[in-house]
A and B are shown apart, each in its own frame.
Chain A
Amino acid sequence: MSALRLTVNGGEHVLDVPVGTSLAQILRDELGLTGTKIACNEGHCGACTVQIDGVPQLSCITLAHAVEGEVTTIEGLREHPLVEAFVRADAVQCGYCTPGQVVSAAALVAANPQPTREEIRHAMAGNICRCGTYPKIEEAILSWQG
């Protein structure tokens, strides 16, 4: 076991967990933040995406003890207008990839509030949706400001 200090959605946490534990495991199993999903668990699919200091990263292949910076999960973006935009655009089918999609999209619009379709496709390429809701995700991001 090894001490771990994490800032998640503005809150400080001190834990004692084995080195090798992923950030996704900590978020879900230790902190109860189950909005972050684990699907492939090897860094391919983007379901586990969280922001670290505002940059989308893959929590399933991030070692919790190596995190430098503040973590923002989907729970920390509950009030973000993108959530409503995803609902308006019906950009959800099974919904499993959606938290990761919103986390990536929130970082995109923070840096670039009016992205083009091409910019959306480049920035969102690491979030895979096997239901194929991509056109609606694009629509949600294009219209996120209402």
Chain B
Amino acid sequence: MELLRPSSLEELDGGLLLHGGTEVVPLLREGLLETERLVDVRGVVPRGVDGAVIGAGTTLAELEVEPAIPDALREACRLAASPQLRSMGSLGGNLLQATRCWYWRLGYDCRLHGGDRCHARDGEHREHAIFANEFCASAHPSDVAAALVALGARVRTNQRELAVEELYRLPDEGNRSTTTLESGELLLEIELPPAGASVYLKAMDRKRWAFPQVGVAVARHEDGSPRIALAGVAPIPWRIEGVDDLDAATPLPRTEWKVPLARALVRRALAALA
């Protein structure tokens, strides 16, 4: 294996892209990712906050103490992972982290790995999805993604510009990916639209350093309407219009508990912004 460290985007030419390494290194070690060429992109991805634009290479630790960003994003960063991981992990990397589904992580031949069944649906799934869980029951773990979707953020890559929401797709028979990222595509910057107050609330199985059981981000937009996005409830960050949308959840037998939890957090978040 070789490690390349390009200093300009023009030098990018294939390989497995690596930033903080908090996700890529363990997945390489487990054999869930394979490459002969690692590309350390820290030299080419912008870092830092400039007005409404955040470099995708900014670490979560930098953002959790950044007064110039919306509350929901700052809080999502503060409640994510552990201090060491927040110091290593980048905003862009956080958005692209893989599922915590234990079957996927253990290399089971599940649908995300190209197989023909979701082992979680019939097996252990207490941490899994309550929406869109028919094909794959994994739950998206990114607090930050939910916050950025609620905030209506956009992302600029080395190939295009799109809403953060459009970065994600539900996996299906023909395409098992949970992102719309193309090969060689690299997140460069996140742009935040003007927004009013925002909040991020997170339920965890312990008080610190845990993935979201349910995370709820709500941002009030210019027209006064709240925009709600959830983490930990579907294979991708999940938008709902209001608390009543939780009535349409399709929980698995052992994820039913997440529905009232999500309902309570959404109510609490909306009340916090009222």
Contact = CB atoms under 8 A, between A and B. Distances in A.
Interface residues of A, number: 29
A56 to B, nearest CB: 5
Contacts of A126: 81-85, 209
B25 A125 contact: no
B88 A62 contact: yes
Interface of B: 1-3, 18, 21-22, 25-26, 28-29, 38, 40, 42, 61, 81-85, 87-88, 208-209
A128 B87 CA distance: 17
A58 B88 CA distance: 8
Nearest to B208: A125
A126 B210 CA distance: 10
Contacts, number: 72
Interface string A32-64: 000000000111101001000001111001110
A42 to B, nearest CB: 5
Given A42-B26, A121-B208, A122-B208, A19 B2 contact: yes
A122 to B, nearest CB: 7
27 contacts: A2-B2, A19-B3, A43-B84, A46-B82, A46-B84, A55-B87, A56-B83, A57-B84, A57-B87, A57-B88, A58-B22, A58-B84, A61-B21, A61-B25, A61-B26, A63-B3, A63-B38, A65-B3, A66-B3, A68-B42, A121-B208, A125-B82, A125-B83, A126-B83, A126-B85, A126-B209, A128-B209
Given A42-B29, A57-B88, A66-B21, A19 B1 contact: yes
Interface in A101-146: 104, 121-126, 128
